[in-house]
């Protein structure tokens, strides 16, 4: 089990794999960071893919 904090706040999530962690983060972002989610709709797909790759690398390095 790995544990990693949200990149925007101090809330921490545990999961066996990145997909499990990301699923928790997605729900967390939609409720606790709704303003950011709304703004991110205007960002490019490439920016989203870069965020995902960076977060996966951090999770895998734990």
Domain boundaries, position 44: 2-61
Residue pLDDT, tens place only, 6-22: 999 999 999 999 999 99
Residue pLDDT, tens place only, 47-62: 989 999 999 999 999 9
pTM of the model: 0.85
d(CA 41, CA 13): 24
- Count of structural domains, the chain: 1
pLDDT at 39: 87
What are the DSSP calls for 6-24, one per residue? -SSSS-EEEESSHHHHHHH
pLDDT at 40: 86
Span 19-42, average pLDDT = 93
The region of weakest confidence among 3-7, 34-38, 39-43 is 39-43
């Amino acid at each position: 089990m790995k544990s990693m904090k949200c990149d925007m706040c101090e809330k921490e999530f545990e999961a066996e794999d990145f997909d499990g962690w990301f699923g928790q983060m997605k729900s967390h972002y939609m409720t606790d960071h709704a303003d950011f989610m709304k703004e991110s709709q205007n960002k490019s797909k490439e920016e989203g893919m870069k965020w995902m790759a960076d977060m996966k690398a951090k999770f895998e390095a734990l």
